[in-house]
Structures are given as C-alpha cells and as structure tokens.
Amino acid sequence: MSDHQLADWRQHALTLETEVNKVVVGQANPVRLITTAIFARGHVLLEGDVGVGKTTLLRAFTRAIGGGYQRIEGTIDLMPNDLVYHTYLGEDGKPHVSPGPLLMSGENLSVFFFNEINRARPQVHSLMLRVMAERTLTAFNKEHYFPHMLVFADRNQVEKEETFDIPSAARDRFMMEIPIVVPTDPDIMESLVFNTRFHDVDALVETIAKDVLQFDQLNTFAAKLQDSISASPTLRKYTLDLWRATRSPTDYGIKVSGVDMKRLVLSGASPRGMAMLLRAARVNAWLNDRDAVLPDDIHAVFHETIAHRVVFSPVYEMRRTEIAREMLSGIVNAIAAP
C-alpha cells in the first residue's frame, strides 16, 4: 500500500474521531480505542455504568462508518433464535417469519450492539461466540455472512442477580474491553447536564457527518495496514516478554497488594489475545503517523486488550478490575525494552 493511501485513510480516521468527539464529549481515549478496534477489525466489550453514553458512542460511530446498525438487549429469557428471527401472525392471519437483528441488515451489518450481554443465557453467548469468530450463521438452510460486522457488547457490572458471567472463551473473542467512565472535567460535566444539545440523542447523532469511512472497504484496508506497519526484532522480544509475564508474573517479580501471586493467575493471555494486541498496536502506530510499532503503541492498548483475557483464581474474580489493572501496570513497569 502506498504511503499516500495510508495518509488518506489516516486523515479519514482522524476525521471520524473528531466527528464522534463532537457528540460524545470527555471520552477521547475510548474514542481512540474504538477507532483502533474498527481498523484492527476487533470486537469490543464496553464496561461502564448505566447512562454514561455507550449507546450514543456506538450510534455515532455507526453513522460515521456507514452500514447497518443492530442492537439487542440481553435478558434472562433471551434465546439464540431471538437473534436470528421472530415469528408473528400477519394481517392476513397467517404466520410469518421475519429476520432477527443479526440477519436484518444482511451482509451490510457493520455494528451489532449487544446491550447487557451478561444478562443473556450461555446458549446465547455460544451463538455469539461463533458469529464473532467466524462472522457466519446458518439459518433457514442457508449460510449467512457478516463480513463487515463488529460486535460491541456491554456488560452490567453493578448488578449480579440474574446474570451469567461471560466465559473466558467468549471474553477472548473480544479484542478489547474498554472502560467508559463519567468525565471528571467540571465543564464537561456541566455541559452534559445543562446543555440541551446532549438531551436528544437522535438529534445529536444526526449532527455527525455520514459515511466518513466506507464500511465495506475497511477489511481490505485493515489487512493492508497490518502489512504496512513493521515490528522490529526488539519489539517482538519485548512483546513476548510481556506475554510470558502475563502467564507467570512471579517470574518477573510482579506483585499485587493483598494477593498471593502464586495462586492468582490460572491462565495468562492467549496467542489470539497477543495477536490482537499486536494488531491494535499496529493501528495505534499508524494513527500516530508511524510505520513501525513502538513500545508506546503496545502500552496504549495493552490494558484494554489483555486485562479481560487473563483468567484469575475464582477467589480473586470479585476484584478482577482492580487486580488486573495493578498486575498489568506492574508488568509494563517491570519489563524493559530494549
């Protein structure tokens, strides 16, 4: 790919960020991470409290990249077929079948938002697992393809009743888990409350320029982007050291307060996870106008791509967020490059 093309696409990506940042204020880092995931073609798990703007964020991105946007709410009685079709009696009195959220946009589906995914049953998780990994679905004796689909899921971390933990295999399918937190800047906080512009989400999203990117060209460009950004031997060694440290933190002297490190990690980052880390790091390098990955690029996405993959002993699962953050920070501090 020519430098010219890379520069053009980078300009589009930065425009996309600018457009989204106009309507979702105070979330520059999540916006950068979602942009990264879009160009790395990875699914995203969003973590955050209720009403912090997750849906608005995704709708804004969908409008800017084009394609179909579908959404479903996770509930305890949701079944896998609810994602594929639904049946009803038509005006003619006959039963009818119409496509569910997954099939409704056909191959043009670009963003599928699964709200409160941990309220859905494991059968639903299982279906999503396949759709996310293979981007195909068999229904009505036909194979359906979603080549441009990215799944964004949100999990409710506050309430634990009637929820099902997403198994580690399903978590590993997500490229990133991005925390969405309430902005702390007093001006932004005041705007969100008193500026009526932010009260009507539909009107707000309408202000974003349409089709900043071409969703059906993203796969091709992403593949070429990955080929264009190099990783030096030093960077490769550094990445492998980071990987080993996630698997055996005690070998690198990593400590987390109040945690028996020998019992903490049941399983470190997976090979797929590390590959996704490098994909995201390459996109970050490209967004920063570089053609080689630096440790800084790894750091920019390290926590978001690795924290949700590490499997802890059940006794420490309740403190997962806090422990994962401290452990991964310790790893970054302990591993040197070069």
| Min CB(234)–another protein separation in Å | 4
**Residues between 295 and 314 that touch another protein (CB under 8 A):** 295-296, 299
The stretch near another protein (CB under 8 A) out of 121-129, 170-178, 231-239, 268-276 is 231-239
Element (H, E) at 180: strand 174-180
| Residue among 107 and 326 whose Cβ is closer to another protein | 326
Q: Is 193 in the site for another protein (CB under 8 A)?
A: no
State yes or no: residue 289 binds another protein (CB under 8 A). Answer: no
Q: Which is nearer to another protein, 266 or 292 (CB)?
A: 292
Length of the chain: 338
Nearer to another protein, 111 or 300 (CB): 300
The contacts of residue 280 (CB under 8 Å, 6+ apart) are 36, 37, 40, 42, 175, 176, 301, 304, 305
Q: Are 195 and 25 in contact (CB under 8 A)?
A: no
Complex with another protein: residue 122 or 253, whichever CB lies closer = 253
Q: Which is nearer to another protein, 70 or 305 (CB)?
A: 305
Q: What is the DSSP letter of 230?
A: B
DSSP 323: H
Number of residues that bind another protein (CB under 8 A): 19
Task: Map residue 46 onto helix, strand or coil.
Answer: strand
Whose structure tokens read 């888990």?
177
Near another protein by CB under 8 A: residue from 136, 217, 219, 230: 230
Which one of the spans 86-94, 132-140, 202-210, 284-292 is the region binding another protein (CB under 8 A)? 284-292
What is the footprint of another protein within residues 110-129 (CB under 8 A)?
Answer: none
Quick check: helix, strand or coil at residue 111?
strand
Nearest distance, CB of residue 48 and another protein, angstroms: 25
Nearer to another protein among residue 66 and residue 295 (C-beta):
295
| Angle, vertex CA 65, rays to CA 64 and CA 70, nearest 5 | 100
Report if residue 232 touches another protein, rule: CB under 8 A: yes
Q: How many CB atoms lie within 10 A of CB 117?
A: 27
Q: By CB under 8 A, is residue 2 in contact with another protein?
A: no
> Closest distance between another protein and the C-beta of residue 336, in Å?
5
Q: Which of 195, 220, 234, 250 binds another protein (CB under 8 A)?
A: 234
If one asks whether residue 335 binds another protein (CB under 8 A), the answer comes out as yes
C-alpha radius of gyration, the chain, whole number: 21
**Which two tokens mark 315?**
């006794």
Instruction: Please say which residue, 138 or 232, places its beta carbon nearer to another protein.
Output: 232
Contact pattern from residue 239 through residue 278 relative to another protein, giving x for each residue in contact according to CB under 8 A and a dash for the rest: ----------------------------------------
Where does this chain touch another protein (CB under 8 A) — which range of 49-57, 183-191, 214-222, 226-234? Answer: 226-234
Helix (DSSP H) and strand (DSSP E) numbers for the chain: 16, 11
Helix axes 28-40, 271-287, angle to 10 degrees: 110
Q: Of 231, 254, 234, nearest to 244 (Cα)? A: 254
- Bridge pairing between strands 85-89 and 95-99: antiparallel
Rounded Cα–Cα distance for residues 115 and 320 (Å): 21
Interface with another protein includes 29 (CB under 8 A)? Answer: no
Nearby residues of 116 by Cβ (< 8 Å), 6 or more positions away = 73, 74, 75, 154, 155, 156
| From candidates 166, 259, 287, 293, binder to another protein by CB under 8 A | 293
Q: Does 290 bind another protein (CB under 8 A)?
A: yes
Chain positions contacting another protein, by CB under 8 A: 230, 232, 234-235, 290-296, 299, 332-338
